[in-house]
């Protein structure tokens, strides 16, 4: 027996695509505007509740389309307030989305994934060990944020001052600049002032250094940039991040200098995982300062989060502190990112890997 075709989701279409979709079923452009408001300002998932749309039209839309979210497979809440959702997509794939509250706890960042797994194989990263890889669709990327808003009851879109989910970091699973079109569409939806309305200044995209796409990203999206740097020489970076063999440090730093919109007020964040005896010496810290000379930079020092089978150890706190002091003495911000949500495996890629392990074990 034939199964009926799955309904098309309206989530994840750009404004232009939504208008084109409505034109295709013979509707006027204002219909797309109405839907946009219901979907992204009100967070409505049921056509029957879209009261500015006639009953007949509601029924017609419901026959053809849906505005669902990804299904929340598991939710975990850490003792420090970090929340993590393992989201299940229609094909059975999973990705994880994390909400990290700020210290003052009245707002925070949603960390979203862009791929299932990652084609890059950074040696310290658990995501890179997962074999299955596919790009997430724009609907799946924007759906992660929307599922977070559902969990916090933040619909309709609150004004800028009243949001728990105030910031977005594109730092979950996957390399966003390898899935740029879908990431860009999703972020444009998040930034749209008549919908979710997150300002570009509150969005940070993290890349391992896909040099040719950095400028494109800055020009089209203008979001804050973070670079997973993690080493100060090509020799070490080649070893721990294979992408460096394609785009070595010199090219990466030039792309940072050329990043549109970076300024002293909007600095590029250099993420630096502290790996014991690999990249954590005082000489490394001084080399790091030379590398970023002249760039509007700030640092984020990340104690390595170990996972089963990982070959590295975390630098001891004294070493991390000394490294941070060298950067701070030179006038840079260099906070040590405290591990959040350790009790719920909140590091990149870990929850999904844990879920796969459990399934394989059962």
Q: Which of 253, 302, 320, 346 binds ligand SAH (CB under 6 A)?
A: 302
Q: Residue 61 or 87: which CB sits closer to ligand SF4?
A: 87
118 touching ligand SF4, by CB under 6 A:
yes
Stretch that binds ligand SF4, among 114-122, 179-187, 191-199, 333-341 (CB under 6 A): 114-122
209 binds ligand SF4 (CB under 6 A): no
Residue 36 C-beta: closest distance to ligand SAH, Å:
29
When asked if residue 204 is in the footprint of ligand SAH (CB under 6 A), the reply is no
Spatial neighbors of 265 by CB under 8 A, at least 6 apart, are: none
Q: What are the Cα distances from residue 209, in Å, to 132, 176, 217, 242, 245?
A: 22, 10, 12, 11, 11
- What ranges in the chain are assigned the alpha helix state H? 15-24, 29-36, 55-64, 138-152, 180-191, 211-221, 234-240, 243-246, 249-257, 282-291, 317-329, 350-361
Tell me if residue 62 falls in helix, strand or coil.
Answer: helix
CB contact set of 216 (below 8 Å; sequence gap of 6+): 180
Residue with tokens 């029924």, as numbered in its chain: 59
Binds 271: which of ligand SF4, ligand SAH, none (CB < 5-8 Å by kind): ligand SAH
CB atoms within 10 A of CB 8: 11
Helix (H), strand (E) counts: the chain: 12, 13
For ligand SF4, which residue of 21, 154, 175, 354 counts as binding (CB under 6 A)?
A: 175
Kindly tell me which of 67 and 348 has the beta carbon lying closer to ligand SAH.
348
When binding is defined by CB under 6 A, the residue of 130, 135, 228, 305 that contacts ligand SF4 is 228
Closest distance between ligand SF4 and the C-beta of residue 187, in Å?
A: 18
Among 43, 101, 108, 128, binds ligand SF4 (CB under 6 A): 128
Q: What is the DSSP letter of 336?
A: B
Let me know: does 89 contact 99? Beta carbons within 8 Å.
no
Which CB atom, from 125 or from 268, has the smaller least distance to ligand SF4?
125
> Is residue 305 a contact residue for ligand SAH (CB under 6 A)?
yes
Q: At what angle do helices 317-329 and 282-291 cross, to 10 degrees?
A: 40
Task: Name the residues annotated as catalytic.
Answer: 96, 348
If one asks whether residue 175 binds ligand SAH (CB under 6 A), the answer comes out as yes
- Give the integer Cα–Cα distance in Å for 23 and 61: 13
Cis ω for the linkage preceding 119 (within 30 of 0): no
* Shorter beta-carbon distance to ligand SF4: residue 122 or 327: 122
Interacting residue ranges for ligand SF4, rule: CB under 6 A: 118, 120-122, 125, 127-128, 173-175, 208, 228
Residues within the interface to ligand SAH (CB under 6 A): 124-126, 171, 175, 206-208, 228, 271, 273, 302, 304-305, 307, 347-348
């Amino acid at each position: 027996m034939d199964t009926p075709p799955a309904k098309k989701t309206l989530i994840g279409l750009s404004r232009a695509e939504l208008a084109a979709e409505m034109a295709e079923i013979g509707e006027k452009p204002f219909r797309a505007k109405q839907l946009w408001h219901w979907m992204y300002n009100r967070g409505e998932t049921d056509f029957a509740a879209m009261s500015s749309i006639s009953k007949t039209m509601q029924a017609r839309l419901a026959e053809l389309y849906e505005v669902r979210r990804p299904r929340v497979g598991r939710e975990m809440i850490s003792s420090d307030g970090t929340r993590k959702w393992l989201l299940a997509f229609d094909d059975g794939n999973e990705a994880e989305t994390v909400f990290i509250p700020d210290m003052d706890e009245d707002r925070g960042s949603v960390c979203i994934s862009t791929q299932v797994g990652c084609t890059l194989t950074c040696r310290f990263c658990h995501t890179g060990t997962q074999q299955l890889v596919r790009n997430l669709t724009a609907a799946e990327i924007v759906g992660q944020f929307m599922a977070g808003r559902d969990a916090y009851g933040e619909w309709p879109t609150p004004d800028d001052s009243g949001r728990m989910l105030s910031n977005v970091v594109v730092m979950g699973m996957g390399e966003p600049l390898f899935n740029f079109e879908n990431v860009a569409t999703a972020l444009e939806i998040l930034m749209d002032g008549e919908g979710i309305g997150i300002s570009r200044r509150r969005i940070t995209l993290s890349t391992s250094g896909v040099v040719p796409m950095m400028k494109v990203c800055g020009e089209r999206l203008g979001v804050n940039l973070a670079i997973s740097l993690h080493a100060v020489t090509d020799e070490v970076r080649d070893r721990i991040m294979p992408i460096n063999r394609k785009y070595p440090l010199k090219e990466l730093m030039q792309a940072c200098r050329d990043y549109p919109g970076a300024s002293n007020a909007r600095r590029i964040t250099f993420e630096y995982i502290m790996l014991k005896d690999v990249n954590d010496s005082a000489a490394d810290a001084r080399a790091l300062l030379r590398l970023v000379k002249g760039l509007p930079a700030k640092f984020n020092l990340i104690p390595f989060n170990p996972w089963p089978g990982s070959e590295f150890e975390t630098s001891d706190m004294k070493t991390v502190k000394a490294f941070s002091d060298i950067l701070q003495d030179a006038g840079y911000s260099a906070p040590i990112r405290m591990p959040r949500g350790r009790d719920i495996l909140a590091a990149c890629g870990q929850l999904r890997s844990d879920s796969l392990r459990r399934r394989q074990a059962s």
